Amino acid sequence: MLKIALVGYGNIGRFALKALEAAGDMECCGVVRRSASAEGCPELSGYRIVKDPRELGSVDAAVLCVPSRLVEQTASEYLSLGISTVDSFDIHSEIFDMRSRLDAIAKANGAASIISAGWDPGSDSIVRALLRALAPEGITYTNFGPGRSMGHTVVAKSVPGVKDALSMTIPEGKGVHSRKVYVETQPGADFAAVAAAIKADPYFASDKTDVEQVADVPALNTLMHGVDIEREGVSSQTLGQEMEFRMRINNPALTGQILVGAARAVCARTPGCYTMIEVPPIDFLEGGAEELIRSLV
Give contact residues for its own copies (rule: CB under 8 A). 15-16, 18-19, 21-23, 92, 95-96, 99, 116, 119, 121, 123, 125-130, 132-137, 234-238, 240-250, 252-254, 256-258, 260-261, 275-282, 284-286, 289-290, 292-294, 296-297
CB 38 within 8 A of CB 49: yes
User: Smaller CB distance to its own copies: residue 41 or 130?
Assistant: 130
Q: Min. distance of Cβ 48 from its own copies in angstroms?
A: 21
User: Smaller CB distance to its own copies: residue 149 or 257?
Assistant: 257
User: Smaller CB distance to its own copies: residue 76 or 125?
Assistant: 125
User: Smaller CB distance to its own copies: residue 197 or 292?
Assistant: 292
User: Smaller CB distance to its own copies: residue 18 or 48?
Assistant: 18
